[in-house]
Amino acid sequence: MKTPVFLTAACVLAAAAFAEELNWPELARRPELWPAQCTLKDAVQFQGGVSIAAGQTLQVFEVKPTEADVGTLDGRTNFAVEPDETNLLAVAQAAYAQLTPKQRALTYPAIAQQKELWPAEVALKKSFDLGGGAAVHAGDKVAVVEILPDRLTVHIPQGDFQVAPYATDVMAQARQLVEYPQAGPRYVDAQQKLADQAKAQQEQRLAEAKLNAKVRVYGELEGKLVNSVTDQPEPLDPKAPPRYLVFFRGSSTCPITNRVAPSFIQWYREVKPRHPDFEVIWIMTESPEDTGKFARKLGFSWRAVTYESTPSMPEVNRPITGLLPQLIVMDPSGRILINASQNAVPGAIRQLDTLLRSSARTM
């Protein structure tokens, strides 16, 4: 006789339901399914007078193949119970019935292998004294560093420490993430965010370093520039920084300076209107008063720096020699383009003229 179709289907459904039902051996094998608490069915009397009333709520510590380790909520009494002495299995079965197939398949070792299921942080279910005055408490959230099958490495400001998976809500969060990827911040997203932040910070540091390198001399001159005639502060225009800085060292008592400077001043008056992308800075070798007299005599009013300022300007000071006069041309990074002294200064002026003409063609 053929088996009725409806009976065959019923048998299949019954077998499927039986296969999905959680039993004690399976529960003992899977710590992620252990309930946090259970209820004692019958009162228990221990030697020494300690008794546990029927219906009392107990903490679940470990489920073994033939028994479970439990304890009172106040932590004073721990003992072992057989499977039928509590509702532990029924509580676990009820929770298991609410899980989806994907969630039922999750184990701590499985989570350890799937970083996409790691939450960015976990909440602790227990308090821990970490020593040295550091402690964490139940409910505290800690950042995830690594998840292994039997432990998590987590981070707090005082450092990293390890905790058992069941002492956190890692499984509850992983179950959400396996079904709903956007359920909460994930470890991989958090790590990518940290990596992006670190990359952005590194790029910013490099950009700042590059910018500082490009304008290193500007930084050295900041707060030190004065008008050579009036000795009053005269900073460079930050909106129109010069492409080249031309440093001229001279003295009113130097015969060569008195011979070369007038021709340089005349060249400056002729060239500056056509090439505004350079500035001349007089490096004083005498007092501001004597420098002012000399500037008025020769007819220049360039910015200047005092003799005392040069030691605090390593880039500016680097090419300075003891010979007068001296003409130094730099870019803002401190790169020396021209450097000449005494009778070589006229030739350096011609080099500068060529440099400005060439720059104008390439701009």
- DSSP symbols for 51-104: EE-TT-EEEEEEE-SS-EEEEETTSS-EEEE-GGGBSHHHHHHHHHHTS-HHHH
Question: Same domain for 250 and 339?
Answer: yes
Residue 5 binned pLDDT confidence (cut-offs 50, 70, 90)? very low
Question: Same domain for 346 and 228?
Answer: yes
Overall size of the chain counted in residues: 363
Question: Same domain for 355 and 262?
Answer: yes
Question: Same domain for 151 and 178?
Answer: yes
| CA distance between the termini of the chain | 99
Question: Same domain for 128 and 93?
Answer: no
Residue 8 above 80 pLDDT? no
Question: Same domain for 263 and 322?
Answer: yes
Distance separating alpha carbons of residues 225 and 236, to the nearest angstrom: 8
Q: In angstroms, what is the C-alpha Rg of the chain? A: 41
* Whole-model pTM over 0.85: no
Question: Same domain for 227 and 353?
Answer: yes
Structure tokens at 41: 């069915």
Instruction: Please give the DSSP secondary-structure letter assigned to residue 251.
Output: -
* 101-145 confidence digits (pLDDT tens): 999 999 999 999 999 999 999 999 989 998 888 899 999 999 999
Q: Tell me whether strands 78-81 and 68-72 are parallel, antiparallel or unpaired.
A: antiparallel
For residue 68, the domain's CATH number is 2.30.30
Is 202 inside a domain boundary?
Answer: no
Is 8 inside a domain boundary?
Answer: no
Is 81 inside a domain boundary?
Answer: yes
DSSP bridge partners of 85: none
Enclosing domain of residue 157: 104-191
Is 250 inside a domain boundary?
Answer: yes
Does residue 156 contact residue 142 with C-beta atoms inside 8 Å? yes
Distance separating alpha carbons of residues 111 and 133, to the nearest angstrom: 32
The total of structural domains in the chain comes to: 3
- Residue where the block lists tokens 């002492």: 167
* 166-184 confidence digits (pLDDT tens): 899 999 999 999 998 888 8
Question: Looking at 191, 207, 236, which one is the last position of a domain?
Answer: 191
Distance separating alpha carbons of residues 88 and 229, to the nearest angstrom: 94
* 252-268 confidence digits (pLDDT tens): 999 999 999 999 999 99
For residue 138, the domain's CATH number is 2.30.30.40
